[in-house]
């Protein structure tokens, strides 16, 4: 296997008396697709925040292509090639879909090239018809897509998706599955998702978080059969379903 | 595309009205009206400086009058010392800009939140007010310029053609200069906001965290916006010092700071034409109310002549009923009647 794209060593985050993430060693190869699952409060979102510089880890390190980025600012990390789609769509609410995508494309290209990227992305995420609509007025599912487009327009090497299919219809979720697969042809992804159906469809290795630590890491089928995972996570979901 | 059409129509109307006032003003009006319009134009430049910082940059600065006052004092002090206005004019822009850059550096890079930014800028303004206020004695001077404390600095020499002390700007000249400045600043800001920089600044206002996650450093963009706004306010201060040939510490006062914010609220944040209209309209109204009712008038006339009361009522009504301000509300109404749902400013 080649050198890892991103790697964490003993990564930990403590908020006052609460250890939200503890001692996480995590490795992702170039163009790998990894799913993160775990019950609420398992530390998945905190983990994403540390990877993107929104939180400074209280212990351990994050290495991106061998460089320590644990103390870097969020914009510096973004410029190295990490893009994050947050759980609740984080978009430029008062601007149009086109302007949203332009702000992203303009970070990596100028003038006509930026415009061309925007048109290309509108086509790719299928939002051409609502390009002039104000994003704040769109439905939740559409805003999820806008955010995906915004994240992809900077052309990051590592795409972090925090519950990309949340609040989507089955049809929209299927489109997201297709898009994730397409992205994965050229880029690495880490996907946090609760929906096991979704995870089965993108079929990949899964890392299970529990109480701030990595519980187990394995192939998706093995994870489904794992009794400990069933206990802490899937069992509850199965009962709920 | 109706947004783009409205945009172009807006630009043309603003240009035509601006040029009409510029070229016809002194022919149409009496001298005292020309003087009044001159100060409206100067204040409109000041209103635009906050329109940029707050309306587009999302930075609620209570200290715009600090930069305005610094510009005015810098011009006055430099003018008494140098005699030729070329350098004083440049300093009246550079000193407030440098001051804002320093203050802004600590605010933005210290990641101080919006509320504290308001408190800090307000405090800085009041500190300047109190400091300058207590410089009455003859020991307080910079070069040959005495600061004069509460009495201010009278008899400030007027601007002259660059490097030509004998060609001074007269009253009509001040009118042309102020009106021309407003037009140039307005179109300059339009161009700035249409540029890559301007669009990113608006993006940061809309969602700072998202902009950061895309790789923009919001601190740098905010600092640049803050500094440009301060430079404009400083320039307005220089014009103001010329207009009355006088500056006093009240220029830093709470009333002055509040006024600028009221102009922008009434006219509408997120537009440039709104704060210009808000500024001119409110100043005109204040003058008209004051003229109608001499200080001792009682009854209804006295009530209607009470400018602070009327202005307070206007502000309250706008905040409660028209929170977006005059121009954006008008634009909303306009787009409701024309079919496509697009927003223009």
Q: Let me know: does A11 contact A62? Beta carbons within 8 Å.
A: yes
- CA–CA separation, A168 vs A4, rounded Å? 32
Interchain contact, B213 vs A104, CB within 8 Å: no
pLDDT for the residue numbered B191 = 96
Contact B199 A78 (CB under 8 A): no
Residues of chain A neighbouring B202 (CB-CB closer than 8 A): 95
User: Which residue has better confidence, B230 or A175?
Assistant: B230
Q: Tell me the domain boundaries of chain A.
A: 1-81+157-241, 88-155
pLDDT of res. B232: 97
The partner residue sitting opposite B214, judged by closest CB among A93, A99, A103, is A103
Report the pLDDT value the prediction gives residue B335, as an integer from 0 to 100: 75
Contacts of A143 in chain B (CB under 8 A): none
User: Please, are residues A215 and A186 in contact by the beta-carbon 8 Å criterion?
Assistant: no
Rounded alpha-carbon distances, angstroms, from residue B164 to B71, B79, B81, B83: 22, 14, 16, 10
Q: How far is B199 from chain A (nearest CA, A)?
A: 8
Q: What is the pLDDT of residue A73?
A: 94
Query: What is the distance between the alpha carbons of residues B222 and B109, in angstroms, rounded to a whole number?
Result: 10
Q: What is the pLDDT of residue A228?
A: 86
Q: What is the C-alpha separation between B30 and B32, in angstroms, rounded?
A: 6
Instruction: Give residue B150's pLDDT.
Output: 87
pLDDT at residue B343, as a whole number: 45
* pLDDT (tens digit per residue) in B72-116: 999 999 999 998 889 999 999 999 999 999 999 999 999 888 889
Q: Cα–Cα distance between A84 and A152 in angstroms, integer?
A: 9
Instruction: Name the percent of chain A lying above pLDDT 70.
Output: 96
CB contact under 8 A, A92 and B203: yes
- Sequential pLDDT tens for chain B (345 residues): 456 777 788 788 888 888 877 777 777 788 888 888 899 999 999 999 999 999 999 999 988 999 999 999 999 999 999 988 899 999 999 999 999 999 999 999 998 888 899 999 999 999 999 999 998 888 888 888 888 888 889 988 988 888 878 888 888 889 999 999 999 999 999 999 999 999 999 999 999 999 999 999 999 999 999 999 999 999 999 999 999 899 999 988 888 888 899 999 999 988 999 999 999 999 988 888 776 555 556 666 666 667 777 778 888 888 898 888 888 888 888 777 765 544 444
User: Is the CB of A75 less than 8 angstroms away from the CB of B343?
Assistant: no
pTM: 0.90
Cβ(A65)–Cβ(A82) below 8 Å:
no
Size of interface A-B (CB pairs under 8 A): 67
A 10 A CB-CB count for A77 gives 24
Q: Residue A66: which of A12, A13, A21, A27 has the closest Cα?
A: A27
Please report residues of A whose CB lies closer than 8 A to that of B213.
52, 54, 74-75, 78, 83-84, 86, 90
pLDDT of residue A67: 93
Q: How far is A118 from chain B (nearest CA, A)?
A: 15
pLDDT of residue A238: 52
Are A92 and B215 in contact (CB < 8 Å)? no
* Shortest Cα distance, chain B CAs vs residue A71, angstroms: 15
Residues forming beta bridges with residue A85, ordered by sequence position? A161
d(CA B95, CA B72): 10
Q: Would you state the pLDDT for residue B285?
A: 86
Judged against a pLDDT cut of 90, whether residue A155 lies above it is answered with yes
**Tens-place pLDDT, residues A88-133:** 889 999 999 999 999 999 999 998 999 999 999 999 888 889 999 9
Selection from B145, B146, B157 nearest residue B81 by Cα: B145
- Return the residue in B108, B213, B219 with the most chain A beta carbons within 10 A, the one to mutate for interface testing: B213
Using the beta-carbon criterion (under 8 Å), do B206 and A93 form an inter-chain contact? Answer: yes
The whole-number average pLDDT for the span A4-28 is 93
Query: Which of B156, B49, B47, B153 lies closest to B96, judged by CA?
Result: B49
DSSP secondary structure letters along chain A: ----SEEEEEEEEEETTEEEEEEEEEEE-TT-EEEEE--TTSSHHHHHHHHTTSS--SEEEEEETTEE-TTS-HHHHHHHTEEEE-SS----TTSBHHHHHHHHHHHH--HHHHHHHHHHHHHHTT-GGGTTSBGGGS-HHHHHHHHHHHHHHT--SEEEEESTTTT--HHHHHHHHHHHHHHHTTSEEEEE-S-HHHHHHH--EEEEEETTEEEEEEEHHHHHH-HHHIIIIIHHHHHH-
Name the phi and psi angles at B140, rounded to 5.
-90, 100
The pLDDT tens digits of the residues spanning A45-63 come to 999 999 999 999 999 999 9
Mean residue pLDDT across chain A = 90
State residue A231's pLDDT score.
82
* Angle value at C-alpha B238, between B253 and B202, nearest 5 degrees: 75
Tell me the C-alpha distance between A145 and A136, whole Å. 13
CATH number given to A1-81+157-241: 3.40.50.300
CA gap B293, A101 in Å, rounded: 56
Q: CA B340 → CA A136, B60, B118, B189, distances in Å?
A: 16, 32, 38, 27
Does residue A190 have a pLDDT over 90? yes
What does R_g of chain A's alpha carbons equal in angstroms? 18
CA atoms within 13 A on the CB side of B314: 22
pLDDT number for residue A235: 62
């Amino acid at each position: 296997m080649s050198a890892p794209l991103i790697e964490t060593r003993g990564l930990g985050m403590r908020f006052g008396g609460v250890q939200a993430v503890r001692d996480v060693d995590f490795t992702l190869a170039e163009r790998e697709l990894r799913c993160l699952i775990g019950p609420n409060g398992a530390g998945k979102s905190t983990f994403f925040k540390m990877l993107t510089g929104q939180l400074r880890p209280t212990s351990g390190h994050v290495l991106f292509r061998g460089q320590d980025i644990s103390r870097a600012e969020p914009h510096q990390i973004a410029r190295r090639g990490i893009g994050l789609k947050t759980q609740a769509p984080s978009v430029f609410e008062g601007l149009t879909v086109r302007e949203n995508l332009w702000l992203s494309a303009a970070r990596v290209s100028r003038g006509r090239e930026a415009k061309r990227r925007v048109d290309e992305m509108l086509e790719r995420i299928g939002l051409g018809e609502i390009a002039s609509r104000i994003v704040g007025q769109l439905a939740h599912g559409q805003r999820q897509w806008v955010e995906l487009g915004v994240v992809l327009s900077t052309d990051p090497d590592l795409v972090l998706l925090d519950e990309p299919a949340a609040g989507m219809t089955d049809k929209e979720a299927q489109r997201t599955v297709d898009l994730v697969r397409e992205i994965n042809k050229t880029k690495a992804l880490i996907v946090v998702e609760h929906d096991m159906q979704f995870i089965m469809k993108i079929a990949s290795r899964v890392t299970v978080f529990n109480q701030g630590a990595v519980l187990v890491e394995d192939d998706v089928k093995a994870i489904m059969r794992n009794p400990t995972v069933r206990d802490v996570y899937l069992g509850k979901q199965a009962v709920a379903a | 595309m109706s947004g783009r059409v409205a945009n172009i129509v807006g630009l043309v109307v603003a240009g035509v009205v601006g040029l009409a006032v510029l070229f016809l003003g002194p022919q149409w009006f009496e001298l005292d009206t020309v003087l009044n319009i001159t100060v409206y134009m100067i204040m409109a430049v000041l209103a635009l400086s906050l329109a940029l910082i707050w309306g587009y940059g999302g930075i609620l600065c209570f200290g715009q009058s600090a930069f305005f006052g610094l510009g005015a004092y810098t011009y006055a002090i430099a003018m008494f010392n140098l005699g030729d206005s070329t350098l004083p004019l440049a300093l009246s822009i550079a000193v407030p800009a440098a001051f804002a850059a320093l203050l802004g550096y600590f605010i933005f890079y210290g990641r101080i939140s919006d509320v504290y930014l308001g408190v800090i800028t307000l405090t800085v303004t009041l500190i300047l007010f109190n400091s300058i206020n207590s410089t009455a004695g003859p020991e307080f001077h910079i070069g040959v310029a005495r600061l004069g404390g509460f009495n201010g600095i009278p008899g400030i020499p007027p601007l002259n053609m660059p490097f030509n002390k004998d060609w001074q700007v007269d009253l009509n000249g001040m009118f042309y200069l102020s009106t021309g400045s407003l037009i140039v600043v307005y179109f300059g800001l339009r161009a700035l906001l249409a540029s890559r920089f301007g669009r990113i600044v608006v993006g940061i206002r809309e969602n700072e965290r998202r902009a950061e996650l895309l790789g923009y450093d919001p601190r740098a963009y905010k600092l640049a916006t803050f500094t440009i706004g301060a430079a404009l306010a400083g320039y307005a201060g220089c014009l103001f010092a010329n207009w009355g040939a006088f500056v006093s510490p009240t220029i830093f006062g709470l009333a002055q700071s509040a006024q600028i914010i009221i102009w922008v609220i009434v006219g509408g944040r997120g537009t440039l034409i709104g704060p210009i209209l808000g500024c001119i309209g409110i100043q005109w109204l204040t003058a008209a109310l004051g003229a109608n009712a001499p200080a001792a008038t009682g009854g209804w006339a006295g009530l209607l002549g009470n400018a602070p009361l009327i202005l307070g009522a206007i502000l309250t009504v706008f905040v409660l009923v028209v929170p977006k301000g005059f121009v954006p509300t008008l634009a909303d109404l306009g787009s409701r009647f024309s079919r496509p749902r697009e927003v223009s400013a």
